[in-house]
Amino acid sequence: MLNWMNPKLEVRACSGKGGHGVFARHPITEGERLAIFGGHIMRADEEPVFLANKQDFALQIDEQFVIGAKYENELDDTDFLNHSCNPNAGFKGQIFLVAMRSIEKDEEITFDYAMVLHETVGVEACEMDCLCGNSNCRGRITDNDWKIPELQRRYRGYFQWYLQEKINMILGRTDGDR
Size of site (CB under 5 A) for Zn ion: 4
Give the Cβ contact number of residue 164 at 10 Å. Answer: 24
Burial code of 36-73, b = ≥16 C-beta within 10 A, e = fewer? ebbbbebebeebbebeeeeebbbbbbbebbbbbbeeee
Residue 18 beta carbon to Zn ion: minimum distance, rounded to whole angstroms: 14
Is residue 163 at the binding interface for Zn ion, with CB under 5 A as the rule? no
Whole-angstrom distance, CA of residue 10 vs CA of residue 140: 27
Residue 133 beta carbon to Zn ion: minimum distance, rounded to whole angstroms: 7
Residue 165 beta carbon to Zn ion: minimum distance, rounded to whole angstroms: 26
- Find the length of the chain: 178
- Mask 118-157, x = binds Zn ion (CB under 5 A)? ------------x-x----x--------------------
Contact 90, 98 (CB under 8 A): yes
Of 138 and 166, which CB lies nearer to Zn ion in the complex structure?
Answer: 138
Of 14 and 137, which CB lies nearer to Zn ion in the complex structure?
Answer: 137
Residue 83 beta carbon to Zn ion: minimum distance, rounded to whole angstroms: 7
Of 14 and 42, which CB lies nearer to Zn ion in the complex structure?
Answer: 14
Of 76 and 145, which CB lies nearer to Zn ion in the complex structure?
Answer: 145
Contact 115, 59 (CB under 8 A): no
